[in-house]
Amino acid sequence: MNEASDVDILVVADFKEPYLDRIPVLQQFNRWRLPLEPLGLTPAEFRDMKQRGNPALLHALEEGKVLYQRASQGGEGR
């Protein structure tokens, strides 16, 4: 990571907000003003993008780290 890079954060949750409105919702949790780029998806959007082979999502699944996963999810995301 260098000064010009950021950290991509994928959050899968039951969002009620439209897709683009989720970014500021997620950014409000960045109290430390870290260089984060959040992406918020609903479980249905996540499954659809995975099934379609979305390159960004597949890269996140292959290279990313799970920071938190609710126990009831049963590893569905990976």
pTM: 0.80
State the pLDDT confidence band at 4, using cuts at 50, 70 and 90. confident
Question: What's the pLDDT score for residue 70?
Answer: 86
Orientation of helix 43-51 relative to helix 55-63, angle to 10°: 100
Provide the residue ranges of all domains of the chain, joining segments of one domain with +.
7-67
Query: Is pLDDT of 3 > 90?
Result: no
For residue 31, how many other CB atoms are within 10 A of its CB? 6
Higher pLDDT, 73 or 36: 36
| Structure confidence by residue, pLDDT tens digits, 19-68 | 999 999 999 999 999 999 999 999 999 999 999 999 999 999 999 999 99
